[in-house]
Every structure is written in C-alpha cells, then in structure tokens.
Amino acid sequence: MGEPTGAQGIAALEEIWASIAALTASLSDEDWASATDCPGWDVKDHLSHMIGTERSMAGERTPEIDEGTPAHVRNAIGESNERWVVSRRPRSGPEVRDEFIEVTHARLEALRSLNADDFETIGWSPVGQVPLRVFLEVRAMDCWVHEQDIRLALGRPGGRGGAGEAASLSRVELALGQVLGKGVRPADASSITVTITGPISSTRRLEMVDGRAQRVEGAASTTTLTVESLTYLLRFAGRISTADVLEEKGTVLSGDAALGEAFLDALALMI
C-alpha cells in the first residue's frame, strides 16, 4: 500500500473527524451514555479520548487527577488516556462535542502549516519511534476505530471505504509478518492466504520460510481465511474475539483450522 505521506494522514484525519462530528450532531443523553465495545467507555468518552490525544500532541499536559486504576487500564498509555476521559465526565455530550470540533479544527490547521521536512521528523508513537507522517497514519487508524466503536454502540453504521479505513488496513498490512512469524510461529512451509472483503478488498499470502513469515506467491495455502474488513479491523483492535470473527457473516476458514485460529488469536495487536 506504500509509505504514508503527511498529506494522506491529514486527509484521513479530516475525513474521520468530520464524520464523527456529523454522527454526534444530534445525540440524546441516552446516546451519549451508551456503552461501547471499548471497555469502560461510553460514546462521550471516545470523543474525550480523542480530544486528549490531540491536546497532548499540541503540547498540553495530561490532567493531574486521581482516576484510580480501572480494570481496563493496563499500561502507561491507558493511564494517560483515562485521565483525559475522566476529566471530562462532568461535562455534557454536546459540550464535549463542541470541544472536539474546536480541537480537531485547530490540529488540522497546525498540521497543514508543516513542511515536508517536518513530516520526516522522528518522534514517539504507540508503534515506536517513527516519522510524523507514519504517526499520522497511526492516529487515523485509532480515530477510525473509535468512530466504529461509536457507530456500533448507536447502531448507526457508516464511515466505510474511505481514507480512514484505508489507513487502518495499511497498518494491519505492515503487521502481518509479525502476526504469523512471531505470534503463531508455525513450521516452515506453513502458509495462509487472507482475503479481505468489503469496500476495500485485498488478498495476501504469507508462508513460513527459514523460520520467518514472507509474502510468497503460490497456488495453494495451508490455510485460507476470508473475512470482511470491519470484522478484520475490529479483531486487530482487540474489540472482538477470535470466536466472534469466526461467527461473523462473511468469515470463511478452510484448510488447517488450528493455524487460522492461531493467526486470529495473534492478530489483536493494537493497544
């Protein structure tokens, strides 16, 4: 899918944030309080989280509050996220949405002011030290997944087939070798063909060669897995289980089922 560019990252974020703003334009109090598949968070909390991340990226400090240690908080990133979320719990949904729009507009303006060299600047990200242009793609995936969390909680599907979903699939594409080679570690000559269906479709074949997962063209694979892109991405994000994936309409697993299930087990890599 190629290396991401700063312009692509900005375009993806703009699309996703606009979609979220439209989605949440007229929610009821009950809608805002709807539980989501992201443990411990309701719909409003997702916007609070995205606000917090963008404020952090703009140089603001994480709120100094004692939020305790909920069961769903498992690392330092989670602790920081939770502080931003908890700090906005007293605010109404519309108030948080207004702040979300204000913050995301300001962030887009700041990002558009950067030059080509700025996007090559190496810095921290959840996937390690990477250029800013790569981090923007990571941000796009995170925000797109949160948009889907909200949509699923509200029963309002959408936000599919655009730059956000494309960026998300690109991030998974980069991780496939790790998933099979390090997460599953099957014997040499084991192979899997993964076919993604939906608005953005693709097929990838991986084979173990000398203990490493490599993309190798071949007529047949040990295992074949067909899965709809949203299901695939929700598994990568850890929102659903392997069993959930296998039960979803559109999922077909054939050949070595144990290898396919182990691949899905190892697929949940997103923090």
Q: Which of 24, 47, 44, 22 is nearest to 32 (CA)?
A: 44
d(CA 139, CA 148): 14
Is residue 48 within 8 A of residue 88, CB to CB? The reply is yes
In order of their start, the domains of the chain are 6-155 (1.20.120.450), 167-267 (3.30.1050.10)
Place of tokens 């040499």: 188
Instruction: State the DSSP string of 207-242.
Output: EEETTEEEE---S--SEEEEEEHHHHHHHHTTSS-H
- 193 three-class SS: strand
> Can you spell out the DSSP letters for 79-103?
HHHHHHHHHTTTS-HHHHHHHHHHH
Q: What is the mean pLDDT of the chain?
A: 94
Site of tokens 């598949």: 37
DSSP three-state, residue 10? helix
Contact 27, 93 (CB under 8 A): yes
Query: In angstroms, rounded to a whole number, what is the distance separating the alpha carbons of residues 220 and 18?
Result: 43
Q: Is the pLDDT of residue 73 over 90?
A: no
| Region 257-263 average pLDDT | 98
**β-pair type (130-131, 191-197):** unpaired
Strands 212-215 and 223-228: unpaired
Q: What is the pLDDT of residues 168-218, one digit of tens each?
A: 999 999 999 999 999 999 999 999 999 999 999 999 999 999 999 999 988
pLDDT band of 66, cuts 50, 70, 90: confident
pLDDT for res 48: 97
The distance in angstroms from the start CA to the end CA of the chain is 22
Residue bearing the bigger pLDDT, 186 or 76: 186
Rounded Cα distance, 73 and 85, in Å: 12
Reported confidence tier of residue 80, pLDDT bands at 50, 70, 90: confident
Q: Are 229 and 141 in contact (CB under 8 A)?
A: no
Label residue 125 by pLDDT band (50, 70, 90): confident
Q: Which helix (H) or strand (E) holds 133?
A: helix 132-154
Q: What's the predicted TM-score (pTM) here?
A: 0.94
Mutual angle of helices 43-57 and 76-87, in 10-degree steps = 110
User: How much of the chain exceeds pLDDT 70, in percent?
Assistant: 95
Task: Quote the CA–CA distance of 124 and 38 in Å, as a whole number.
Answer: 24
